[in-house]
Amino acid sequence: MNYYEFYNFPVKFYIDEDLLKKHFYQYSKDFHPDFHALKSEEEQQKMLELSTLNNKAFFVLKSLNTRLEYLLKIKNILVDDEKYSLPPEFLMEMMDINEEIMELEFDADAEKVVSLSNQAKSLEQELEEEIEQLARQYDTAEDESILLKIKDLWYRKKYLLRIRDSLNKFAT
CB atoms within 10 A of CB 78: 19
Higher-confidence residue of 57 and 102: namely 57
Query: Under CATH, what is the fold of the domain 3-62?
Result: Helix Hairpins (1.10.287)
Q: Per-residue pLDDT for 37 more than 80?
A: no
3-62 shares its CATH topology with 88-168: no
CA angle 128, 134, 138 (to 5 degrees): 140
The contacts of residue 30 (CB under 8 Å, 6+ apart) are 50
Q: Per-residue pLDDT for 99 more than 70?
A: yes
The pLDDT confidence band at residue 60, using thresholds 50, 70 and 90, is: very high
Residue 8 CA neighbour count, 13 Å, CB half = 5
Q: Do the Cβ atoms of 127 and 135 come closer than 8 Å? A: no
The pLDDT confidence band at residue 44, using thresholds 50, 70 and 90, is: confident
The pLDDT confidence band at residue 70, using thresholds 50, 70 and 90, is: very high
- Residue range 88-168 forms a domain whose CATH class is mainly alpha
Q: What residue segments make up the domains of the chain, in order of their start?
A: 3-62, 88-168
Instruction: Taking residues 27-43, report their average pLDDT.
Output: 84
